Amino acid sequence: MGSRPTPEQLKKLASEYESKSAQEILAWALDTFGSKVALSSSFGAEDVVIIDMMAKIDRSRARVFTLDTGRLNQETYDVMDAIRARYGIPIEVYFPDQKEVEDMVRAKGMNLMYESVKNRKMCCEIRKVHPLNRALDKLDAWITGLRRDQVLTRATTKKIEIDSAHDSIAKINPLADWTSDMVWDYIRENKVPYNKLHDQGYPSIGCEPCTRAIMAGEDPRAGRWWWEEATAKECGLHFDPATKKFMPSKKLV
């Protein structure tokens, strides 16, 4: 592992690696950043694909962290344990700050997210964004399962980006150009453990009170924060302060 690439170097690498495969992107990330890169995983379909790929490239260097909001489905915990058993990779769990949660619930109630977008984003901020910031503070790069066809706000996602929200570290999205069919073909062909809620009509899985199954013909993200308009449906993990929008990180190419 060499020194952390500068933003200028990342810009050149982004152009060079945009045509590379997911496995090539991950191999580059592990070689370049070593122990200072990790996958941020909610254990959705894309994330378990990436975990399988990293384990096959170099299990000893594969790092995975997750944000336990305290409101997850039991099926999500089940797949965490299945992944741990299958690959032997430790899962680093980050919890929200106890006092922040207690103060929020005392002031707004347990189900504050249903009352307004502002409340819901506050809940996401405390339960997800703040723990993510703690996790990324220790890293030079992070890996995500973002895909361009998941939702409009992710349509311009690049495979290598600069994360301007987190000290300009690298944000690596190896599956950016994959389709949902490609993800599921990989899971089936490689017998990768996955969240069983996917079999119950949940293409996208977040916190239990904020996620529902979708009906035939609905957008894959329709089950997330279903009571809100589509333009508001991001939790803040991929917020770009440079544009003040819920968009992928700073584009490099």
Mean pLDDT, residues 66-77: 98
Asked whether residue 190 carries a pLDDT value surpassing 50, the answer given is: yes
Residues 6+ apart with CB under 8 A from 189: none
56 and 21 Cβ atoms separated by less than 8 Å? no
H helices, E strands: number in the chain: 8, 6
DSSP class of 60: G
123 is catalytic: no
Instruction: List the domain boundaries for the chain.
Output: 7-232
In whole angstroms, give the CA distance from residue 64 to residue 73.
19
In whole angstroms, give the CA distance from residue 216 to residue 77.
27
Name the β-bridge partners of 161: 171
Strand order in the sheet with 91-94: 91-94, 64-67, 37-40, 141-143, 169-172, 160-163
CB atoms within 10 A of CB 240: 18
Short-list 85, 84, 104, 106, CA closest to 96: 104
Candidate list 124, 207, 210, 235, residue with the active-site label: 235
For 170-187, write each residue's pLDDT tens digit: 999 999 999 999 999 999
Mean of per-residue pLDDT scores for the chain:
89
Q: Which two tokens stand for residue 49?
A: 């694909």
Q: How confident is the model at residue 231 (pLDDT cuts 50, 70, 90)?
A: low
Name the β-bridge partners of 163: 169
In whole angstroms, give the CA distance from residue 138 to residue 84.
22
In whole angstroms, give the CA distance from residue 116 to residue 126.
16
Asked whether residue 118 carries a pLDDT value surpassing 90, the answer given is: yes
Q: In the prediction, which pLDDT does 252 show?
A: 46
For 1-34, write each residue's pLDDT tens digit: 557 889 899 999 999 999 999 999 999 999 999 9
In whole angstroms, give the CA distance from residue 38 to residue 20.
19
Q: What is the CATH number of domain 7-232?
A: 3.40.50.620
For 50-67, write each residue's pLDDT tens digit: 999 999 999 999 999 999
DSSP 1-14: --SPPPHHHHHHHH
Q: How confident is the model at residue 232 (pLDDT cuts 50, 70, 90)?
A: low
For 158-167, write each residue's pLDDT tens digit: 999 999 999 9
The letter for the amino acid at 191 is K
